Amino acid sequence: MSLVRLNIKGISYSQTQNGAYALILSEVDGERKLPIVIGAFEAQSIAIALEKEIKPPRPLTHDLFKNFADRFDVVVKQVIIHKLVDGVFYSSIICERDKIEEIIDARTSDAIALALRFQAPIFTYKNILDQAGIYLKVNPKKDDDDAESLLVDELVSDDVEMVGKETSYQDLSLEELNRMLDQAVGNEDYELAARIRDEISKRG
């Protein structure tokens, strides 16, 4: 499978769902965009790395990892978004130390936050881009930011529906709640997972 190099186009946010962000990646030699829903903390960490002028008074988690890796001569060579399952992207960080290469599994948002700090290239496979890549169709009366914001709203719409069911958790069985908990964790939606876990604990 052939690899496609990606650039970071930017981070957009949802106008309807607080704390929902999307990282917009674009293929280097093409017009398609790859939107990935990420959390607020990861969005902040990526934004700080993109800005470069902003220096937090204390290292963020990804900065700490970079400092740790530098101290022990570990270099991040590249990041590969290698799998897409049920809307969740899976990534690998390709590292090198003493000319020995290692592959480390990582959440895509973390992998990209680190790739920025190591100035490492980001790739995905062509079949993933074929499956999830989109062309942003911008209305002439709207700018790119408006189009991307609408895109984020669409991406998180399923999550919004799930959150809206919070008040009906009491009507669900423990088996249903546990299944929803597994799904939320699988989708890396830890806020939703925490709410479901709290409901399960109440019945404890």
| Residue from 69, 80, 82 nearest 117 by CA | 69
| pLDDT tens string 91-135 | 999 999 999 999 999 999 999 999 999 999 999 999 999 998 888
| pLDDT tens string 17-40 | 556 788 999 999 888 999 998 888
Q: CB under 8 Å to 188, separation ≥6 — which residues? A: 39, 88, 107
The pTM of the full predicted model, rounded to 2 decimals, is 0.69
Helical packing angle, 144-164 and 190-202, nearest 10°: 10
| Residue from 54, 55, 111 nearest 82 by CA | 111
Q: CB under 8 Å to 108, separation ≥6 — which residues? A: 36, 38, 81, 89, 90, 91
Res 193: pLDDT = 73
Lookup result for tokens 């009491």: 170
| pLDDT tens string 38-62 | 888 888 889 888 887 677 788 889 9
